[in-house]
């Protein structure tokens, strides 16, 4: 079994259908060559300043990881707001449910939020990463919880090949329970050209591949998560309020500067539960942010 490759012009319903069947899909030409090259130039220069990891088991000792990408990469909104990625995440994660408020039955639809951003540069000699599910960060249970917690992207900043450590995926592993053990021989390499992107869900087993080539490869990953879960990356310290002010309102909300319909994420001001987006422009209101 291999991962399906689709055009970026494919209908969202078809993309979602394949992800629900296979656990992931590759979108060809997710971003054009010019934008991809700009991202490569920026990330490759910044990654030169990042030390190799020290975790021999998971993060890698010949792998460089750099987060805070919304503060470091001008093109990051083009990834986050790309309709193929964003609309796919909404379609998968925003499954409504019902609850009672007194005797009124109400429909609730969860918000989504940016969970983690990271540039990952795998150097020659790095061994394969252990296979894992990303939703393990919340101790998600399968199939008990009955819904997905995350939709994630791996954007190929450089070509991804089996030799240079392309992400390895076990197709359809999102359908497994928590007792089945993932095995390396069940994986396939998500080989991509620079500019392509792998989109997968948090319950799909995957891991970075071993780089047995002579050059490093660079990938950019980002997740959309259910809005009521704790964000894996702390954007409130990673991004200053001045940086966030420059983003479109939808992106501000996706980064967490938003209050859900159930009041999750509110900021108290003058005794009222306020939306953080509205508070960004309140004069003399102190917000967090260290950059």
**pLDDT tens-digit series, residues 164-221:** 999 999 999 999 999 999 999 999 999 999 999 999 999 999 999 999 999 999 999 9
Q: What is the pLDDT of residues 10-36, one digit of tens each?
A: 999 999 999 999 999 999 999 999 999
Alpha carbon distances (Å) from 225 to 2, 13, 111, 230, 291: 26, 19, 9, 9, 24
Note whether 282 and 221 are same-domain residues. Answer: no
Q: What is the pLDDT of residues 225-240, one digit of tens each?
A: 999 999 999 999 999 9
Note whether 69 and 190 are same-domain residues. Answer: yes
Q: Name the percent of the chain lying above pLDDT 90.
A: 88
**Is residue 256 predicted with pLDDT exceeding 50?**
yes
- For residues 144 and 32, give the distance between their C-alpha atoms in angstroms, rounded to a whole number: 40
Q: What is the pLDDT of residues 31-56, one digit of tens each?
A: 999 999 999 999 999 999 999 999 88
Which structure tokens are listed for 17? 């259908």
Note whether 216 and 239 are same-domain residues. Answer: no
- For residues 200 and 20, give the distance between their C-alpha atoms in angstroms, rounded to a whole number: 9
Q: Is 0.85 topped by the overall pTM? A: yes
**Is residue 287 predicted with pLDDT exceeding 70?**
no
Note whether 164 and 208 are same-domain residues. Answer: yes
Alpha carbon distances (Å) from 224 to 94, 114, 155, 206, 247: 11, 5, 14, 17, 17
Note whether 207 and 69 are same-domain residues. Answer: yes
pLDDT band of 1, cuts 50, 70, 90: confident
Averaged pLDDT for residues 262-284: 85
Q: Residue 174: which domain range?
A: 5-231
CATH number of domain containing 24: 2.60.120.620
Phi-psi region of 201 (alpha: psi -120 to 50; beta: other; left: phi over 0): beta
Note whether 272 and 136 are same-domain residues. Answer: no
Note whether 267 and 142 are same-domain residues. Answer: no
């Amino acid at each position: 079994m291999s991962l399906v490759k689709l055009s970026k012009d494919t209908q969202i319903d078809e993309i979602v259908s394949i992800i629900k069947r296979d656990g992931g899909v590759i979108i060809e030409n997710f971003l054009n060559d010019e934008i991809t090259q700009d991202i490569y130039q920026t990330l490759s220069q910044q990654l030169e300043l990042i030390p190799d990891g020290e975790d021999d088991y998971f993060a890698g000792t010949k792998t460089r990881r750099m987060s805070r990408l919304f503060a470091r990469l001008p093109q990051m909104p083009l990834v986050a707001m790309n309709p193929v990625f964003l609309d796919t995440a909404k379609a998968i994660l925003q499954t409504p449910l019902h609850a009672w408020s007194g005797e009124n039955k109400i429909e609730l639809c969860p918000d989504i939020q940016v969970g983690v951003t990271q540039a990952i540069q795998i150097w020659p000699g790095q061994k394969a990463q252990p296979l894992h599910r990303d939703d393990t960060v919340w101790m998600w249970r399968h199939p008990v919880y009955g819904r997905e917690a995350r939709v994630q992207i791996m954007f190929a900043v450089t070509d991804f090949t089996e030799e240079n450590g392309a992400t390895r995926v076990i197709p359809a592993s999102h359908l497994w329970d928590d007792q089945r053990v993932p095995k390396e021989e069940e994986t396939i390499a998500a080989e991509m050209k620079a500019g392509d992107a792998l989109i997968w869900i948090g319950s799909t087993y995957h891991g970075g591949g071993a780089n047995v080539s002579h050059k490093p490869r660079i990938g950019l990953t980002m997740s959309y998560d259910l809005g009521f879960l704790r964000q894996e990356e702390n954007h409130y310290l990673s991004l200053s309020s001045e940086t966030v002010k420059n983003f479109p309102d939808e992106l501000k909300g996706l980064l967490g500067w938003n209050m859900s319909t159930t009041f999750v994420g509110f900021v108290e001001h003058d005794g009222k539960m306020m939306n953080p987006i509205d508070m960004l422009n309140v004069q003399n209101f102190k917000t967090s942010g260290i950059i």
